[in-house]
């Protein structure tokens, strides 16, 4: 199955646009954006060191956002026969016509050429259950005395977009992820790998890493909570970046006063540069957003100064600016978010970061983080799957999981970022894999407010 498998989807999108256009005339202005997507996803899940759930799906979805005289409505369906598509169009237009005028309706997406970005790997799209099972076996075998759990999946998406204003776009993407842990009776260690190519995953190496972390954590001791210098691994940093992106660089949240972001202000340490970077060769995803707008690289934070927000066409209209190509499905309510945030790497090796810490904690991963107030970015959560005490530049042992209550913006503010790693990669954060590319960070302080046992 190749990237060109979008052709039937493009034809389907054109048919829906034609059905919408047929309802125009008689003085009514009828507009629409249509997205047709095919998702082929297989996931091999394992626990207690064997595969227990093994799933696959192949679904096609047609999504329609339509406006009649600037009154808008949206609908989607997985039924793509002629009668269902006609029903979809008629119901959506009827629904739209009965709405109040939508003051933020930006119009159907106008033509804007989309450059295809090659985040698609045919062999990943074709991956079968046996290929994924082989990866799981390599992961499990790395810890024969341990209990392994996790998943290995492969996904391909083909998407076609068409609007009544003439925009046409088609693209495809693949993703494969290994997300697993090894466990002793007292501890766990994790490994995460994501790529657009299943062949890039080294499940055996992932298993070795997770097993090593689990074994080294087995004799953990509890430390009293308090303020610690920290070295955060890429997975932990990914969660921080995800929260900043979803709640802070979201233009809708900014328009509503709920974002911390202040454009032009030095809100972060000068060493921090954050990009929205769908053009990075490692990035996962499509070359256009849910509104069919081309997705391009731009800078969110430049050397500590907040420079930009993620916009869709609705928020761009409200803010009198242009979309950045960050519309998400259903984004009318939540707003636009960066899909591919990339925190620029530094030049410090992770081992050097640890060596420079007099007393602090090495945190590999955060767990169950939730924002207490989006404006302050105060978040609570826990450490998980490997937390270690550093003394005099050396990891001296594992510690029990800790709860933190910490402002993510404050943690990255001027003077608080002591080093940035040279180990940037796709890292899995709180909301899953395939979004954030980031390195490790050494930070001056992190507020741990409780141990996992009280």
The sign of the dihedral angle between the CA atoms of 429, 431, 437, 442 is negative
**How far apart are the C-alpha atoms of 361 and 232, rounded to whole Å?**
8
Q: Does 372 bind other proteins (CB under 8 A)?
A: yes
Tokens 């003077």 sit on residue: 415
Tokens encoding 232:
């955060």
* Cα–Cα separations (whole angstroms), residue 30 to 16, 108, 161, 434: 13, 9, 17, 37
List Cα–Cα distances, 376 to 47, 226, 268, 379, in angstroms.
Answer: 38, 20, 13, 9
Using CA atoms of 340, 346, 350, 353 in order, give the dihedral in degrees to the nearest 10: -130
* Cβ-based nearer residue to other proteins, 317 or 355: 317
Query: CB 84 → other proteins: shortest distance, Å?
Result: 6
Please identify which residue in 6, 15, 32, 42 interacts with other proteins, judged by CB under 8 A: 42
Task: Spell out the residues 6+ positions from residue 54 whose beta carbon is closer than 8 angstroms to its own.
Answer: 43, 44, 45, 129, 133
With binding defined as CB under 8 A, does residue 414 bind other proteins?
Answer: no
Binding to other proteins (CB under 8 A) within 417-436 occurs at: 432
Does residue 451 sit in helix, strand or coil? Answer: strand
Stretch 161-180 residues interacting with other proteins (CB under 8 A): 179-180
The residues near 144 (Cβ < 8 Å, ≥ 6 apart) are none
- Residue 37, H or E segment: strand 30-47
Which C-beta is closer to other proteins: that of 122 or that of 129?
Answer: 129
Residues 6+ apart with CB under 8 A from 157: 37, 38, 39, 40, 172, 173, 174, 286
Q: Which of 2, 11, 18, 48 binds other proteins (CB under 8 A)?
A: 48
Q: Which of residues 179-198 bind other proteins (CB under 8 A)?
A: 179-181, 183, 188, 190
Residue 60 interacts with other proteins (CB under 8 A): yes or no: yes
232 touches other proteins (CB under 8 A): no
Instruction: Determine, following the binding rule CB under 8 A, whether residue 240 of this chain makes contact with other proteins.
Output: no
Our finding on whether 369 is near other proteins (CB under 8 A) is: yes
Q: Among residue numbers 282 through 341, which ones bind other proteins (CB under 8 A)?
A: 330, 332-333
Minimum distance between the CB of residue 281 and other proteins, rounded to whole angstroms? 26
Determine, following the binding rule CB under 8 A, whether residue 451 of this chain makes contact with other proteins: yes
Question: Is the CB of residue 54 less than 8 Å from the CB of residue 181?
Answer: no
Strand partners, 71: 68
Neighbours of 329 (CB within 10 A): 16
Taking CB under 8 A as the criterion, the residue among 256, 265, 347, 394 binding other proteins is 256
116 counts as binding other proteins under rule CB under 8 A: no
Asked if 401 is part of the footprint of other proteins (rule: CB under 8 A), the reply reads: yes
Structure tokens that stand for 43 in this block = 């996931």
Candidates 165, 218, 258, 328; binder of other proteins (CB under 8 A) is 258
Give the angle 168-174-176 at the CA atoms, nearest 5°: 160
Binding mask 125-164 for other proteins (x = CB under 8 A): ---xxx-xxx-xx--x------x-xxx-x-----------
Q: Which CB, 257 or 264, lies closer to other proteins?
A: 257
**What is the three-class DSSP state of 299?**
strand
Q: Minimal distance in Å, beta carbon 36 to other proteins?
A: 12
The C-alpha atoms of residue 356 and residue 346 are separated, in whole angstroms, by: 15
Question: Can residue 216 be called a binding residue for other proteins (CB under 8 A)?
Answer: no
Phi, psi of 230 (to 5 degrees): -135, 150
Q: How far is the CB of 312 from other proteins (least distance, A)?
A: 13
Q: Which of 171, 248, 285, 374 binds other proteins (CB under 8 A)?
A: 374
**Which 75-104 residues touch other proteins, going by CB under 8 A?**
75-81, 83-84, 87-88, 91-92, 95-96, 98-100, 102-104
Say whether residue 368 binds other proteins (CB under 8 A). yes
Does the protein bind other proteins through residue 251 (CB under 8 A)?
no
Q: How far is CA 55 from the centre of its chain?
A: 22
The single residue among 4, 58, 90, 394 that binds other proteins, judged by CB under 8 A, is: 58
| Site membership for other proteins, residue 263 (CB under 8 A) | no
CB of 30 vs other proteins, minimal distance in Å:
16
Coarse DSSP helix, strand, coil percentages of the chain, rounded to the nearest 5 percent: 25, 40, 35
Is residue 262 a contact residue for other proteins (CB under 8 A)? Answer: no
Our CB check for other proteins shows the closer of 172 and 406 to be 406
- Dihedral sign, Cα of residue 61, residue 290, residue 175, residue 172: positive
């Amino acid at each position: 199955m190749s990237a060109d498998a979008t052709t039937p989807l493009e034809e389907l999108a054109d048919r829906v646009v034609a059905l919408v256009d047929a309802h125009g005339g008689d003085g009514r202005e009828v507009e629409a954006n249509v997205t047709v997507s095919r998702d082929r996803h297989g996931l091999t899940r394992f626990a207690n060191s064997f595969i227990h759930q093994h799933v696959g799906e192949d679904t096609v979805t047609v999504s329609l956002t339509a406006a009649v005289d600037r009154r808008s409505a949206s609908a989607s369906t997985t039924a793509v026969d002629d009668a269902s598509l006609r029903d979809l169009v008629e119901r959506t237009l009827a629904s739209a016509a009965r709405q109040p005028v939508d003051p933020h309706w930006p119009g159907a997406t106008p033509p804007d050429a989309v450059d295809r970005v090659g985040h698609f790997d045919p062999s990943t799209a074709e991956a079968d259950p046996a290929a994924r099972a082989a990866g799981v076996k390599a992961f499990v075998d790395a810890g024969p005395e341990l209990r392994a759990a996790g998943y290995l999946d492969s996904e391909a998406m083909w998407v076609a977009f068409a609007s009544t204003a003439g925009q046409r776009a088609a693209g495809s993407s693949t993703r494969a992820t290994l997300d697993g842990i090894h466990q002793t009776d007292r501890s766990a260690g994790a490994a995460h790998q994501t790529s657009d190519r299943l062949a890039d995953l080294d499940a055996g190496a992932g298993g070795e890493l997770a097993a090593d972390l689990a074994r080294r954590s087995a004799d953990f001791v509890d430390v009293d909570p308090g303020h610690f210098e920290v070295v955060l691994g890429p997975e932990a940093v990914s969660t921080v970046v995800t929260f900043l992106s979803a709640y802070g660089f979201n233009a809708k949240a900014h328009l509503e006063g709920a974002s911390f972001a202040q454009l032009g202000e030095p809100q972060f340490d000068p060493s921090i540069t954050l990009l929205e970077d769908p053009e990075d060769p490692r990035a996962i995803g499509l070359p256009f957003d849910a509104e069919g707008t081309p997705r391009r690289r731009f800078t969110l934070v430049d050397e500590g100064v907040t420079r930009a927000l993620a916009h869709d066409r609705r928020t761009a209209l409200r803010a009198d600016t242009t979309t950045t190509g960050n519309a998400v499905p259903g984004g009318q309510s939540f707003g636009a978010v960066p899909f591919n945030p990339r925190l620029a790497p530094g030049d410090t090796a992770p081992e050097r970061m640890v060596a420079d810490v007099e007393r602090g904690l090495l945190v590999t991963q955060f767990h169950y983080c939730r924002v207490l107030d989006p404006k302050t970015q105060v978040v609570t959560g826990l450490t998980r799957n490997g937390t270690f005490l550093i003394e005099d530049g050396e990891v001296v042992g594992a510690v029990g999981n800790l709860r933190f209550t910490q402002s993510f913006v404050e943690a990255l503010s001027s003077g608080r970022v002591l080093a940035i790693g040279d180990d940037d990669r796709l890292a899995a954060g709180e909301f899953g894999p395939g979004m954030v590319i980031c390195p490790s960070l050494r930070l001056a302080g992190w507020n741990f407010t409780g141990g996992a046992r009280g």
